[in-house]
Each structure stands twice: as structure tokens, then as C-alpha cells.
Chains A and B, each alone.
Chain A
């Protein structure tokens, strides 16, 4: 089932949670709502579920207005951040709940058992059917919550920070599990997260939300490689920021100068460069780079993070492969030539105007 959201607004007292969001989720997609806490992403999810009413705007399911439809009539499966499992019911009964409360067309006892056991197999919890939620680990509870939401065969699956309260390894495992599960059952799914890595790994499409507005919608590659705003740029991974201005078709960003023939003169711009987009060498290679000093090299797994500092003492971060780092044979305090492969230029940070220009350094 597709979801269409049109110009939704929601205020809580003086706080504007959602400031006019429109969004289309095609049937069968797995979409991530990504944003910092307080950005309005959870409120949006709760409005889709019917747990909150929007002040303005409409929600359409499969083209039909569902804005005022009651939560229990929406056919929505919801997985809560803290699972919200019924503490007084066993795992089996938690999953069976949605079937048992059905007024019309309640399945027979044997059918309920079949359905529930099937779902427990799907989430690999069949041996724990008789346990109570308090006897389960966080990851297990999360999977019960998922099975419970799926038991009513929802047309839409909504997940609020589904991995938020799990430890790192379980998180990783469950992320892949959710991706596989979605590939299997193909139900339209929306999940909320503040973790960009999670969104990039799991989602078909990412909706980046900030201060109650959509910053960008796109595939993981699109939002990561072609961020539409400085916010998206800096929220999805670390960036180096250079401040400066545009003069006669050139961006002068401190020690960097970037060709920007399409941009008219502007007094304040910022250039963004990701750490892995910095070319590092020990000799002065192509023009357009700067000399820096290595402050500290921090090996993190297959990559090495380099803390650098330019001639004026401004910090820079670069990432290189371990092998490449070995070839460099560099030690702290020694000089490195750094040249950005590409720079994204936006009108000075915090401004909403995206100049969005990808310039090659000169």
C-alpha cells in the first residue's frame, strides 16, 4: 500500500514539531526517516499510525484520505522504540493479541496457533513462545514486537527507532534481519532513526528531516553523494568545512581555492569536503591543495583516521586505507600535502539557500 503525506503540520504548545511535510512512500518500499532528536520524525510516524492527529494536512493510504481514520482501523503495524510488549502475556500471547481481539472474522484457535507459530519461526523465537517479556533480551523483545505487529497482516509497517535501545552487535544483526525480512514480505515500511549508518544500510530511500521539514529525499547513494543542503552534508558523516567567499568565478576558502565559474560573487560561502575525499601525498602533487601537519594517526579497523592541521592551525580530518597509510611512512609532526578531490559549496552555513556546486579544486 502506498502512503501519501500532504503538507502535514503539527504543534505541541509552542513547539512546532512538523512544519509542512509532504512525502510519497511507494508501495513495497522500505523508507527511513532520518534526523536528529526533536526533528519531528517520530511525530510524523505517529501521525501516519493515527496515534496523533495533524493540525493541518492529509494522510492518504492507497490514494484514500485516512487522516481521520481511527488507529485500529488503519491496518498499520507499529513497532515501538521500547517495544511496548504486554508484560502480563507470554511471547505467544503477545503475538496472538491482534488476532484474539478481532471482532469479525476471528480465526479459530488452531489457526491462531498456526499463524503465531509461523511468525515466531520467522523471527526465530519459536523455542521462547512460553516466556514472558521480562525473561527476554532486548534483541529478542524487539523481534517479538515485530512478530506481533506482523500478525495482523498490516498493509504498512511502521518502526520507531527500532534498534535504538540495543547494543552494537545485536543492532547490526537486527538491521540485516529487518532488511532480509522486508525483502521477503515486501510490506510498505517506514522506520525512524537518528543513526545515518543504519539508514544508509537498511533503507531503499532516505528522508532526511530537520526542524520539522524535509531536507532531502533520495536513495542512500543520492543523499550521501549529492547532499542537497549543508545539513544533510554534515548529518550524514563527518565533513571538513572551509569558510570563505566567491570572487570572480573562484571560491577562496582559506588556504584552498576552488574553480567556481557558475557562481556569482557572494560574500559568505562554505565548502564541505568529506574526509575520504581528501587526496594525501608527501610531495606537492597536483595544484589546489594545502600543506598540513600530521597531528595524530588513529588506526580504526581497515581505515586510518588522520588528524591534520593546516598552516593556520585549523584542524582537518582525512581517512585513508591502512595499506596506503603504510606506504606513506609518515609520523606525527611531519608534513602532508592535502588536496580535495571535490568540494561542495553552499551559501554560508545555516542559510537555507543551497548553492550546491561541486567544484574541482585548482
Chain B
């Protein structure tokens, strides 16, 4: 117990409180100025928009992937199942350079998309692509176990009561998956908001246009602007903590629902 708390304090609590105290020492005016300058605001807005968009893409496709993996037999299923975990294990820098190479104007995918007039690399769309990649496991792995534990007899009961397939899906399956799905979305979003490695290569990093908030922290650090970096970091930390609490709440809700059945 003591060991646990000591280690936790040393590795997590002490460093994070250093951050908060540093911000507090700046004074409210300096903090507000550093945390809300136009360039910083633009980076928040970009991070937020791309993270939401990527989470939604994963919300839709991740759900389909989880559904297919649980419900249908098909050749190569084990490989697909394993590949879903890969974005968690693959170093983000590797993801970053390979996605950039693929989607750059000269790359395989980039060429095809450019022909359609879509710029991906060095544009906000590229950031979304990178965030979709890193976020894939979250929705799938949140929904999958709940879907597996969903008893067949509940659906059979609904069918015996005269519900058709769509009604069963909308009224029985979806409501019980909702907390898990939202958890997955929130996790993917939180990851997207803080993601750095896979994005820096593909984003192009133009101030006010394609500069995400974590990158701006990095830039400020390179200029030895510790206060500026700290201010942005505190804002990101606050959002992260809020989301963590939200996710924990959701998981408690979903486990309570699971227990009540």
C-alpha cells in the first residue's frame, strides 16, 4: 500500500502538480495571455475539430468492425482482430512518417486523392487521417466485449414478441451498447486531442492553419518559453482530466447496467 502510493506520487502526482504550480506562479493575467493568444486559440480549435471528426469516423467504422468480429464468421477474421490492436503497439512516429508518405502529393493514396481535388497531407484532413489511425482500437475494444456478453436470448425474446430485425437492433441491442460505445468515442477523442507523434509529420505545422496544440507546446519549449508551454499544457491537462472522469462515469454506468440484467 505504502509502496503503491509512494510510486504513484513520484511518477504521477509530483510531476503533474509541478505543472499546475508552475502555471499558478505565472499569475492569472500572464496565464490568460499565454493560454488564449490567437495562435494558441487556433491550435485548440484545430485539435478539437480534428479529434471530434476522427472520433466520429471511428465511432461508425469501429462499431461495424466490432459487430462483424463478434457476429459473423469470415476468413481472415483472426488477422483482422489482431490488426485492430496494432495502432496501440505501433510507435506513433512510424505511423506518422508512413501516413505522410502515403498521403503526400507524390504518395500512392495522395496521388489518387489529389486527382479528386482533395488535399490530405499538410492539411487538416491529414491530421484527421492520423487520428483515425491511432483511435481505431478504442471503439472496437470498448464495444466488442459488451456485444459478446449480450445474451442471444434477449434478442430471441424480442423476436418472439414480434420485433423485426431493425427494431431489435434499435430497441434492444443499441441501448445496451450505448455506454460502451460512448466510452470508446470518448477514449478515441481524448487520445486524439493529445496525440503528437503521428500528427507532426503529416500536418505541415503551419501556424494558425495546421498547428495542433501539443505541437505548439513543443515549439514553445524549443524557444525556451516554458511559461507559454505550461499554460497550454494546463489547459490540455484539464480537458484530459474532465474526460477521464466522464469515461470512468460511463464505465461505471455500463457495468451497473451489465449487472442489472
Establish whether A and B are touching in the complex (CB under 8 Å): no
